[in-house]
Amino acid sequence: MRDLLQQTPSLGNALWFFLAAVVLLVILLGFVTYAIYFERKVIGWMQARIGPNRVGPLGLLQTVADVAKLLIKEDTRPKHADKALYALAPILAYAPAFAVLAVLPFTETLQFADLGIGILYYIALSGITVLGVITAGWASNNKYSLIGGLRSAAQMISYEVPLVMSVVGVVLMTGSMNLREIVLAQQDMWNFIPQFLGFAVFLVAAQAELNRTPFDLPEAESELVGGYHVEYSGFRFAMFMLAEYVYMFGMGAMVTILFFGGWLPIHPALSFIPGIVWFAVKLLLYVFLQFWLRATMPRPRVDQLMSFAWKVLLPVALLNILITAVVISYQSGMI
Amino acid sequence: MNQGILTTNSTISSDTGIRTEEMLLNIGPQHPSTHGVFRLVVKIDGETIKEAIPVMGYLHRGTEKLAENLTYTQIIPYTDRMDYLAAMTNNYVICHAVETMMGLEIPERAQYLRLIAMELNRVASHMVWWGTYLLDLGAMSPFLYAFRDRETILDLFNELCGARMTFNYMRIGGVKWDAPPGWIDKVREFVAYMKKELNNYHALVTGNEIFINRLKGIGKFDQKTALDYSLSGVMLRSTGIKWDLRKDEPYCIYDRFDFDVPVSTDGDCMSRYHLRLAEIEQSLRILEQALDQFPSEGEVMGKVPRVIRPPAGETYVRIESPRGEIGCYIASQGKDKPWRLKFRRPSFTNLQILPKLLEGENISDMVAILGSIDIVLGEVDC
């Protein structure tokens, strides 16, 4: 993969890139399909019920059937919706979700773009999704959608700040924004131990960025009946769902890379297990955490959510940067 | 409906020059958190509620008017459909009213069966409340745990009277069916199980920081307001007024049991949450004692004339339903049908305070406040 990246562009390796992207997309769709299946299954078990078990053996084809249903469903649009924006919103939400995956190093060699500013790329692109959400809320011409859209705008912008700040500590320790180098710098100790403050802030802020429980206010179904995507049906709705789960994949990968040593084994003695397995296990544990939280947590109120971001998470993240900076300066003899 | 709410104001901020406008939002009649066909028209400024007007009647069936053309026994199934989460108490209030008018003697065994049914129903009703309330606040699992345990109660009722929700169990002068063999032991088993399970409920929810922040100090009112709005049940007791008809005006055989009336002085949603769970505990206490005292044999129907004709006159009885004071007024002219029948429905009366509580609150608090009143739309609209 890395050799491929170094080559001069030609028609031949462009085809390879295209094929690799398609393979990644297929893997991703497979992940989303079974993330949804296991989400329903795991939460079902946690809630003393069985979960989907009708379509296919053990219900394994349930999500396939659901997606098929969404695809053949009538594409409805409210009469007074803003046509162009209404059509644009799902694409705006989905495209960056897939684009961010380019910089993720799944193993030392398996990576699509080895950018020097990998972290910035991820954060900048994922910030675009909120535009899709606001656009959807506005274009639907529905009051519930509008409130949902504005809520998520406020929420995602507020939580992006502590999210970025919490990563600064990791960047300071590594001295690089390249995601591959960040992983390689964790050979001796995974970052979540020295960066436990940053890790905690990241975990909470990521939850809000993903719009997942307990911070699922934008789509709070008991208040807003579904929030910004209440008017969307069929495939357009599927795009929003897809974006949400792809982000879960992306955020899981980020947590793995930034704090849990990416593809590195838990102990050097276990390095006979391929790196991609380690990566997958860590990522899936994060995804499982999402299910667990969803089955457990109630939802805070909007204003509590905001004040939590600005009054708790941000100061903690700043404190983390300060401590990290002081310790690093001390170690390198600058103080 | 008050037309005043339909005008929305727009204001121009003096600092920024940005024009903002108030918005009318229809919450319901089909909305997941109104627990039925209840509609709330709210005027919001951002996410702050300026004014709220409840609109109801979507489930109005005219029970009271229909009752005028029904014999007293025929009215009983109609009461099942009022507060469908606690149909046993509704059954009881109409039977109790007629029995009071006619001065009927109820056999001991029937009294106990009625009491056990009513208390089990209170537990089931509070469990539905607990589950759906947490669902409103965004937590999914408690709902399913509550419904799993409520299922046991419904199965018990199914064995007792063949129905899971609209029981039609009580009759004037007693109850329709005796408990099947082994039923009392099953109830005893459930009570023991539920006492333990209640700790799980607390462990799962009560200490949760997010949950506490959502409820503490929300939907607060004081004693005077509670009395002015003639609130009853948990809504009243949450302000510190110790008033429970089971204790203060004992009906059925409640005077034989030892139980407490939980009260709180906070008057907010959190205190109402705690009170309802505490009431489940007390109901289980009553059930334990009732099961121990349960007479091993006896009639379940008293001596009742074949055609029920209460003497001419009026009567009003009231009992404590899970939602508050449910009352039944009967004006009889000595016929086999009531001349006028009126139910005082606690859901309806308690709902009156909603617009006052919602003023100035956030939309998210709307579900917390509405949920804490604990309404059943079948009873509100009657």
* Arithmetic mean of pLDDT, B355-379: 88
Cβ density class A70-108: b for 16+ within 10 Å, e for less: beeeeeebeeebbeebbebbbebbbebbbebbbbbbbbe
Q: How far is A305 from chain B (nearest CA, A)?
A: 10
pLDDT of residue B381: 87
Residue B59: pLDDT above 80? yes
Using a pLDDT cut of 70, give the percent of chain A over it.
Answer: 96
Residue B248: pLDDT above 60? yes
Helices B108-136 & B141-161 angle (0-180, nearest 10): 160
CB contact under 8 A, A147 and B33: no
Q: How confident is the model at residue A6 (pLDDT cuts 50, 70, 90)?
A: low
Residue B97: pLDDT above 90? yes
State how far the Cα of B317 lies from the Cα of B92, in Å rounded to an integer. 11
Q: How confident is the model at residue B9 (pLDDT cuts 50, 70, 90)?
A: confident
pLDDT of residue B3: 55
- Whether B149 and chain A come into contact, CB under 8 Å, resolves to no
Listed by number, the residues of chain A in 16-45 with a beta carbon closer than 8 Å to a beta carbon of chain B are 43
pLDDT of residue B2: 53
Which of A45, A292, A296, A301 would you mutate first to test chain B, the one with the most B CBs within 10 A? Answer: A301
Q: How confident is the model at residue A222 (pLDDT cuts 50, 70, 90)?
A: low
The predicted-structure confidence for B339-353, as pLDDT tens digits, reads as follows: 999 999 999 999 999
Mean pLDDT of chain A: 85
CB contact under 8 A, B144 and A303: no
- Whether A46 and chain B come into contact, CB under 8 Å, resolves to yes
- Whether B138 and chain A come into contact, CB under 8 Å, resolves to yes
pLDDT of residue B262: 92
pLDDT of residue A4: 65
The predicted-structure confidence for A202-216, as pLDDT tens digits, reads as follows: 999 988 888 887 887
Top-ranked range on mean pLDDT: pick from A75-84, B41-50, B102-111:
B102-111
Residue B92: pLDDT above 90? yes
pLDDT of residue A35: 87
> How far, CA to CA in Å, does B95 sit from each of B88, B175, B244?
11, 10, 20
Q: How confident is the model at residue A240 (pLDDT cuts 50, 70, 90)?
A: confident
B23 versus B338: the higher-pLDDT residue is B338
B204 versus A5: the higher-pLDDT residue is B204
Which of B48, B208, B210, B367 would you mutate first to test chain A, the one with the most A CBs within 10 A? Answer: B210
Contacts of A216 in chain B (CB under 8 A): 138
> How far, CA to CA in Å, does A197 sit from each of A57, A162, A190, A322?
44, 12, 14, 11
Beta-bridged to residue B362, according to DSSP, are B48
Structural domains for chain B: 3-55 (no CATH), 63-344 (1.10.645.10)
CB contact under 8 A, B31 and A225: yes
Are the C-beta atoms of B172 and B164 separated by less than 8 Å? Answer: no
ipTM for the complex?
A: 0.82
pLDDT of residue B341: 92
Alpha-carbon dihedral sign for residues B79, B82, B88, B90: negative
Residue A177: strand, helix, or coil: coil
Residue A270: pLDDT above 90? no
Q: CA Rg, chain B, in Å?
A: 22
CB contact under 8 A, A295 and B140: yes
Top-ranked range on mean pLDDT: pick from B39-48, B295-304, B315-324:
B315-324
CB contact under 8 A, A304 and B213: yes
State how far the Cα of B123 lies from the Cα of B149, in Å rounded to an integer. 10
The phi, psi pair for B32, rounded to 5°, reads: -60, -20
Mean pLDDT of chain B: 89
Which of B214, B218, B364 would you mutate first to test chain A, the one with the most A CBs within 10 A? Answer: B364
Q: How confident is the model at residue B4 (pLDDT cuts 50, 70, 90)?
A: low
* Arithmetic mean of pLDDT, A236-262: 88
With residue B55 as reference, give the H or E element that holds it: strand B48-55
With residue B343 as reference, give the H or E element that holds it: strand B340-344
Contacts of B141 in chain A (CB under 8 A): 43, 46-47, 295-296
* Arithmetic mean of pLDDT, B361-375: 87
